[in-house]
Structure 1
Amino acid sequence: MKIFGIGLFIVLLCTVRELCATNASHVPDECCFSFYPKRLPIKSISHLKTTSSSCPVAGVIFFTKKGYKVCAKANESWVKKYVEHFTQQNSEK
């Protein structure tokens, strides 16, 4: 019975590994999987980056002046305002 369990585990492991290898070309650079629940002070943000449309949840990665990366949901109103602010700021440069 132990041999059957070990064999089944190995088959499942190989299957998962193969699935991950075939999907590796479609994996985005960065996705957000947990989101900061509060509004960040805009003065603490140095720049931002929107996540790929391939990510499961649309997010924005805020880079703080202290060097932290903070994810927020892209559909929140304050996040949309911040994205607009930084987009305008970059277009003026």
Structure 2
Amino acid sequence: MASPRLVLSVLVLMLAVIALTEGMRGAGPRKCCFNFNNKPVAKDRVSGYVKTSQRCSNAAILLKTVVGRQLCVKPSDQWVKELITYLDNKAAQGESSTL
């Protein structure tokens, strides 16, 4: 029969390994989307966007509105693609006009 010290040592070692491997995975994604807004949003109501993490189960875009809300939308929707192109062009023009 195993001594109590050996059992305790193995248990502590297993907990240390688990804690180490969990710590190496890093923090999970900050925000994932599970419900999506299907209605197009006016360009003047959106101030920016962010792509969700690749670790999320659903690919999504988080639209940031001028009033501070965040909306989940599907990146495959045509109106979303057009909106992202518009926002990217607007940001590029803003950067070049300040030079």
Tell me whether the two structures share a fold, i.e. TM-score over 0.5: yes
How many angstroms apart in 2 are the aligned matches of 1:84 and 1:59? 16
How many angstroms apart in 2 are the aligned matches of 1:87 and 1:53? 21
Q: Which structure 2 segments of 5+ residues have no match?
A: 1-17
Instruction: Report SS of the residue matched to 2:63.
Output: strand
- Matched with 1:69 is 70
Alignment-mate amino acid for residue 29 of structure 1: R
Q: Which structure 1 segments of 5+ residues have no match?
A: 1-17
In the alignment, is the contact (CA less than 8 A) between 1:58 and 1:75 conserved in 2? no
User: Which string of whole-angstrom CA distances, capped at 9 and with x for unpartnered residues, describes residues 30-77 of structure 1?
Assistant: 211111121111111111111112211111111111111111011111
TM normalised by structure 1 equals: 0.68
In the alignment, is the contact (CA less than 8 A) between 1:61 and 1:70 conserved in 2? yes
TM normalised by structure 2 equals: 0.64
Identical columns (%): 24
Structure 1 residue 26 displacement after superposition: 5.6
- Greater C-alpha Rg: 2
- Matched with 1:28 is 29
User: Which string of whole-angstrom CA distances, capped at 9 and with x for unpartnered residues, describes residues 16-39 of structure 1?
Assistant: xx8xx9496262122111111211
